[in-house]
Amino acid sequence: MEFFPSINQFKDVVKAIRDRSLYFHTPLPTMEFTGTVKLHGMNGEIWNETGEIVALSRARILGEESDNAGFYSQIVHPNLDVWEQYLDSLGEKAAVFGEWYGSGIQKEVAISSVPKKFIIFACRVDEALFEIRNNLYCLSKLRVVVNINEPHLQSMGFLEGVRLGVKESWTKIAST
Q: Which amino acid makes up residue 142?
A: L
Q: Enumerate domains of the chain plus CATH numbers.
A: 10-37+139-174 (no CATH), 42-131 (3.30.470.30)
**What does pLDDT average to over the chain?**
81
Q: Select, from the ranges 1-10, 39-48, 105-114, 138-147, the one with the highest average predicted confidence (pLDDT).
A: 39-48
C-alpha closest to that of 146 among 133, 159, 132: 159
Give the pLDDT confidence of 91-111 residue by residue, as tens digits: 878 999 999 999 989 888 878
More reliable by pLDDT, 27 or 132? 27
Give CA–CA dist 94/114, Å, rounded: 30
Give the pLDDT confidence of 54-63 residue by residue, as tens digits: 999 988 999 9
pLDDT at 175: 60
pLDDT at 142: 66
Task: Answer left, alpha or beta for residue 101, where phi above 0 means left and psi between -120 and 50 means alpha.
Answer: beta
pLDDT at 170: 53
pLDDT (average), residues 82-86: 93
- pLDDT score of 151 more than 60: yes
Phi/psi at 153 (nearest 5 deg)?
Answer: -70, -25
Give CA–CA dist 162/156, Å, rounded: 10
pLDDT at 173: 53
The model's pTM is 0.71
Task: Tell me if 141 sits within 8 A of 156, measured CB to CB.
Answer: no
- pLDDT score of 4 more than 80: no
More reliable by pLDDT, 12 or 159? 12
pLDDT at 112: 84
Give CA–CA dist 171/165, Å, rounded: 10
Q: What is the DSSP-derived secondary structure letter of residue 77?
A: G
pLDDT at 137: 46
Give the pLDDT confidence of 5-29 residue by residue, as tens digits: 777 778 888 899 999 999 999 999 9
Q: Indicate the pLDDT class of residue 138, thresholds 50, 70 and 90.
A: very low
Q: What is the DSSP-derived secondary structure letter of residue 2?
A: -
